[in-house]
Chains A and B, each alone.
Chain A
Amino acid sequence: MNRRESLKNMTLSAFGLAAFPSGAMEAENADKGDKKIKVPNGRTETEAVRDARINAEKFFTPNELKTITVLSDIILPADATSGSASQVGVPAFIEFMMKDQPTYQTPMRGGLMWLNNQSNKRFQKQFIGCSRPQQLEIVDDIAYPEQVKSGMQQGIAFFTMLRNFVVTGFYTTEVGFKDLGYVGNRPNTWEGVPEDVLKQYGVSY
């Protein structure tokens, strides 16, 4: 394959255009002999079976998922630069990760319980039933790890974990790439640092 051909192939396959058929292999699901699992390109059969199992399970209750959605959009709201976390599917990503890495399940579920306990104490309502000012009153107490109020440490640990997931979930999407200005992951020729940048940082080749 010469360079031009490889560039051509890369461009097509990189953006999922039909350069090749999807090429998914058919594989027997070891557990259910009659059910076929499609192995996506680049995956092993074991991985495909595991992902299918995870996708068929549910972790969050509808109520929990609503709470995660409200919190996700408080953490990354829609604004002039880009959309909100829930608009790019962050809650579904978090749902997947809870099943993919179950070590997060207890802190996440427990954190949501902690949050509802707070809102019940303060406003006699579940967190999602609170008004936005009420929600933010609680969030303000748990969003700043260097300003710890008594009794809020566990809430801070929960919110910090959730912030991590929301930011990672947002910036690993197409919208996130655009927000960040990431312009890689495409065939190119590396010619070095642009001239104006070299000048700005006082370095040269």
Chain B
Amino acid sequence: MLNFNIQEQATKYDAVIVGSGAGGGMAAYILSRAGLKVCVLEAGGYFDPADPKYSNQMKNPWESPRRGANTTRPFGDFDAAWGGWQIEGEPYTAKEGTEFQWFRSRMLGGRTNHWGRISLRFGPDDFKRKSLTGVGDDWPIGYDDLKPYYDRVDQLIGLFGSIENLPNEPDGIFLPPPKPRLHELMMKKAAKTVGVPIIPSRMSMLTKQINDERGQCFYCGQCSRGCSAYADFSSSSCLVKPAMKTSNLTLINGAMVREVLVDAKGLCTGVSYVDTRTLKEVTIDARVVVLGASACESSRLLLNSKSANFTEGLANSSGVIGKYLNDSTGASRGGFVPALMNRKRYNEDGVGGMHVYTPWWLDSRKMDFPRGYHIEYGGGMGMPSFGFGFGLEKMNGKYAYPNGSKLPAGGYGSRLKEDANRFYGAYIKMAGRGEPIPLESNYCEIDPNKVDKYGIPTLRFHYKWSNDEILQAKHMQETFENIIGAMGGVPLGDKPTAETNYGLAKPGLIIHETGTVRMGNDPKKSALNKYQQAHDVKNLFVVDAAPFVSQGDKNVTWTILASSMRTSEFIIEEMKKKNL
């Protein structure tokens, strides 16, 4: 039964936080530990990877009737994300001739539950693109503003890496990195001969124990399923749950926020949400409103929060909200390495993901595209799941058996068992992740005609890659072939050409969207000031990746954590000064 009675919660909170991912989780942690009364609203359900009820860690493929296939979860049956690019009853659209895919995880911790744990700091150059290159925009802050917070995030959450002293890849406070796997050593050796450096990756798994609440990595390679020992970073395990121990935090799951509420003076008074189970409308009163709902969701919420004082959406006098949406570029290529056939078996699951990576190594001023990319590497003797052995017929006729004989491609019988065995662990993969140029013409806006199942107007996207990103993908493909070739490997499939934008992933598929509520010093061109505080509404803050002016080629989570910590402490200071 629908019930439109509006419920008033009696409590007035110091802060209401929308979203429990990296940004919302960090704000919850900092504010509640400072003694503020905090309410976190999460649209999805409760999740705890240490509770077997929620856990898929260490499951074998035969424990899934589809052997881990991605029928219902985009990254397979055992992946932690409850959500995906499509969620029933929560649609979005794109303007004709453009496209954007929007991934949402409806659960405590949001997308930090399944993310790749690649934990990179932005470098000094990443904050001043316009001054350095003439293209893009500068941030209102620089690396030095965030450095102390990066340092504290490193110590609070933990990550591994190596000291490299690279100018635009600042070192952190690292735990020891895991040693490279065999294919990673071979890649490193080969890449060097074609001028591509490979260094230990920087990821937030605990190769050493850092506190009593969290265990040490036990190398199952399954971080994307959620860790029962909390040995990797997810917002739910490392921030929200510790914050709940303060007794200052109220977590409400199933709270789909409809609107930020304002008073006649133009200040926020709280938010209203739809309880996703009862469909009742509930109001939460708070002194400050902190949005960490994800770049697109936070901008949607602001654009939907219209009132007499804010006819174009809340805090949107600049008209900039929704604009400059940008996702990482992505392109990849697989390869086969004959030297790795018939390899000795041992457990090389390692941490969940790569042990090495390539930071951007070239001078962008000498390229025909303005921004760089990093390379992520895959391969090895991973756990078989759905899709294992598909396409064996493309390989098994090409390569001789150990006794020198060859058989025609395809076939049947015991030879297939030998084929599965000899090719196992001989494949590699490379994926580039690059910095896009944020454009005003790439944006999300409220679809004038559509609502979701809660009656909340939905987003319509308008997004097109520019030639800058396409040429970057072209360069990625050249690099991949160079490295595969230097390893004595064979690139798989056809080399992507101009017709497919050189394999450039469609916008949104890399799930690094940022930039829809940008910060800046000029209130005419930005929605937030340098503390991620709304120019128009002083008790409104955004702590996800929406404020970011650009995203480097660095996965944004670590920067979300650092800037959310900085903003949260600003809120505390402003409250102390009675400015809020």
State the A residues within 8 Å of B (CB).
Answer: 1-3, 5-7, 9-10, 13-14, 19-20, 23, 25, 41-42, 44, 46-47, 50-51, 54-55, 74-77, 79, 81-82, 93, 96-97, 100-101, 139, 143-147, 156, 159-160, 163-164, 167-174, 176-177, 179-194, 196-198, 200-201, 203-205
Contacts and interface: CB of A to CB of B under 8 A. Distances in A.
Q: Which of B51, B189, B220 has the most C-beta atoms of chain A within 10 angstroms of its own C-beta?
A: B220
B414 interface: yes
Contacts, number: 235
B69 A74 contact: no
B393 A145 contact: yes
A177 B349 contact: no
B214 A173 contact: no
A182 B55 contact: no
A185 B349 contact: yes
A180 B422 CA distance: 9
Interface in B296-318: none
Contact of B416 (A50, A76, A189): A76
Contacts of B346: 183, 193-194, 197
Nearest to B382: A184
Q: How large is the interface on B (under 10, 10 to 19, 20 to 34, 35 or more residues)?
A: 35 or more
B373 interface: no
A52 to B, nearest CB: 11
Contact of B179 (A54, A144, A193): A193
Contact of B219 (A97, A182, A187): A187
Given A44-B82, A96-B66, A145-B393, A168 B219 contact: no
The 9 closest A-B CB pairs, nearest first, are A167-B389, A6-B229, A192-B179, A6-B215, A14-B58, A172-B61, A181-B345, A187-B218, A42-B56
Given A42-B59, A77-B413, A171 B388 contact: yes
B219 A167 contact: no
B52 A23 contact: yes
Interface stretch (B164-172, B180-188, B548-556): B180-188
A172 B219 contact: no
B386 interface: yes
A181 B421 contact: yes
A51 B229 contact: no
A183 B54 CA distance: 25
B421 A1 contact: no
Contact of B417 (A82, A96, A197): A82
22 contacts: A1-B215, A2-B209, A3-B209, A3-B215, A42-B53, A54-B65, A97-B66, A101-B66, A144-B409, A156-B410, A164-B391, A164-B392, A171-B388, A172-B62, A172-B385, A172-B386, A180-B421, A184-B220, A184-B347, A188-B219, A188-B349, A190-B348
B410 A144 contact: yes
B496 to A, nearest CB: 23
